[in-house]
Amino acid sequence: MASLILINGAPGSGKSTLARLLIDEQPLVLLLDIDSVRRHLGQWDSDPQAAGIAARRLVVAMIRTHLDAGLDVIVPQFLFRSAFIEELERTAADAGGSFVEIALVSSPEEATARFAARASSDDPNHQDAVRLQQSAGARPIEELYSEMIGMLQHERPRTRFVESIPGDIEGTLGRVRSAIDG
């Protein structure tokens, strides 16, 4: 049975790094980074909210296609509201696949520090995230992280929490593998 694996967590928690390492372990696993898909939409930054919705719609279609082929998908994404998580779970079920929901956790302060460290990154997705976070009306990462934890604890009881320790990629990867295996 094909699996859809969501790796949730604050920016800088290691979601994308761990997802890349996981796809290297099995043939034809698809890594779908919503932020990367969004970057491929023309003038996405003129309306980031509409671009995010369009990117999610495309990602769901790609997930459905890949799961229908019997192949696994990994989605690393920071989600602090449950609606899209529920859509991903329904998509997996509709395709006859399993849904594994992992949350990388540390502390609100650590999440903020990791995000701040991305300001000097060359990764276009990191640069976009920093720019969007600095825009007017953006909520602090610490607040969003706390909202994610609260939502997961109250609305997503099957979430598998994995501690993400800075500098311990191999240890965190091992804990993620264990969480996937259930």
Give pLDDT, residue 30. 98
Give pLDDT, residue 144. 85
Give pLDDT, residue 23. 97
Q: Nearest-CA neighbor of 129 among 43, 66, 48, 73?
A: 48
Output b/e per residue, 140-158; b: 16+ Cβ within 10 A.
ebbebbbebbebbeeebee
Give pLDDT, residue 136. 47
Residue 162: phi, psi to the nearest 5?
-130, 125
Per-residue tens of pLDDT for the chain, all 182 residues:
999 999 999 888 899 999 999 999 999 999 999 999 999 999 988 998 899 999 999 999 999 999 999 999 999 999 999 999 999 999 999 999 999 999 999 877 777 776 666 556 576 654 555 455 555 456 788 888 889 999 999 999 999 999 998 889 999 999 999 999 98
Plot region of 154 (φ>0 → left; ψ -120 to 50 → alpha; else → beta):
alpha
Q: Nearest-CA neighbor of 88 among 10, 8, 153, 149?
A: 8
Other Cβ atoms within 10 Å of 104 Cβ, number: 25
Name the token pair of 70.
């019997």
Residue with the two structure tokens 């295996």? 181
Give pLDDT, residue 172. 96
pTM of the model: 0.88
Name the token pair of 150.
């609260």
Give pLDDT, residue 12. 82
Indicate the class that CATH gives domain 3-181.
alpha beta
